[in-house]
Amino acid sequence: MTTQHSALSTQHSPDLSIIIVSWNVSRLLYDCLQSIAENKGALTIEIIVVDSASSDNTPEMVAREFPWVQLVACNENVGFPKGNNMGMGRANGRFILLLNPDTQLVGDALENMTAYLAAHSKIGMVGPQLLNGDLSVQSSRRRFPTVGTAFWESTWLQPVAPKSILQRYYVQDVGDDQTVEVDWIMGACMMTRREIAAAVGGMDEAYFMYSEELDWCRRIKDAGWDIVYLPTAQVIHHYGKSSDQAATHRHINFNRAKLRYFRKYHGRFMTFVLRLFLLSNYLIQIILEGIKGIVGHKRPLRWQRVQSYWQVVRSGLRPAGY
């Protein structure tokens, strides 16, 4: 692992440390860093990019185009939680922003979030309103998942899930433009205080990818801090550009992370039942995709899905870290 160290600000303790964990999204990372430079306002900031052994010349691009950025070039894909923890270990700012490389800041988002935290001492974390590329609102605020949520949300049964379960989970009873206290926010952009990160600890590295922000927010809430969705700050998020590069691993990592969360907070038996349910979902999809392939409907796509889902089943979907 190599580190290039320089700073956008000459102050010893900047207002804000921005941590970006990147993997093979050089073009998007360039746009992200450019948007920070253009929209930092009066804030003094430092930016720490942790690159997880990208093969698309990301480290070279950062060093060439943004020499004021602190670059941590890893020799392997360290995962989202560990990468952010590495960045937080180097952060000197009063506030810390975890930011995805597939994001772009809109206007005074950074100043709005830092000002809100500075004015509300009981707030431990804020998240902006995330926007899709067409500027429509992207769902980014949540309540903690219940046992019921686990069997409906992000499974093939979600389209027929009871509306009350998903409305509660996605905070659909509150308008998108309302500032509101929530249980957790999406990890694409989340700002916290340096002292909270020090007191609560970093992200649980056993997750590798997915659910790590859920777990982190739960620990922050359990420590007595509030978490707020702040729509006066807006950030464009080009969703899933890193994870789309490895679809099978995305399925495996997502479900193993989901099971780890429920193992930690809802117990072993519930997690065992949920694991069997998820595996049976994939077995059913293998059968359905196989039948569609046999009758000749988009046959290459069907065989690709069968192979992918079979790899998920073979993985066993054991909870990450257990």
Measured distance CA(33)–CA(25) in Å, rounded? 12
Is residue 245 predicted with pLDDT exceeding 80?
A: no
Among candidate residues 101, 97, 99, the one with its CA nearest the CA of residue 114: 97
* 129: β partners: 234
Query: Where are the domains positioned within the chain?
Result: 2-243, 246-315
Q: How many CB atoms lie within 10 A of CB 136?
A: 8
**pLDDT cut 90: percent of the chain above it:** 88
Measured distance CA(104)–CA(130) in Å, rounded? 10
- Per-residue model confidence as pLDDT tens digits over 82-104: 999 999 999 999 999 999 999 99
Cβ atoms of 203 and 85 within 8 Å: the answer is yes
Query: Against a cut of 0.75, is the pTM above it?
Result: yes
CATH architecture of 2-243: Alpha-Beta Complex (3.90)
- Per-residue model confidence as pLDDT tens digits over 125-184: 999 999 999 999 999 999 999 999 999 999 999 999 999 999 999 999 999 999 999 999
* 233 conformational bin, left if phi > 0, alpha if psi -120 to 50, beta if neither: beta
Alpha-helical regions (H) of 206-298: 212-222, 247-266, 268-294
State the pLDDT confidence band at 7, using cuts at 50, 70 and 90.
Answer: very low
State the pLDDT confidence band at 239, using cuts at 50, 70 and 90.
Answer: confident
Measured distance CA(14)–CA(35) in Å, rounded? 18
When comparing pLDDT for 185 and 297, which is higher?
185
State the pLDDT confidence band at 10, using cuts at 50, 70 and 90.
Answer: very low
Measured distance CA(122)–CA(223) in Å, rounded? 11
Q: Name the E strands within the chain.
A: 2-4, 16-22, 45-51, 70-73, 95-99, 103-106, 123-131, 141-142, 180-182, 184-185, 189-193, 226-237
Cβ atoms of 111 and 89 within 8 Å: the answer is no
- Per-residue model confidence as pLDDT tens digits over 148-163: 999 999 999 999 999 9
Measured distance CA(96)–CA(216) in Å, rounded? 14
Lowest mean pLDDT among 90-99, 191-200, 240-249: 240-249
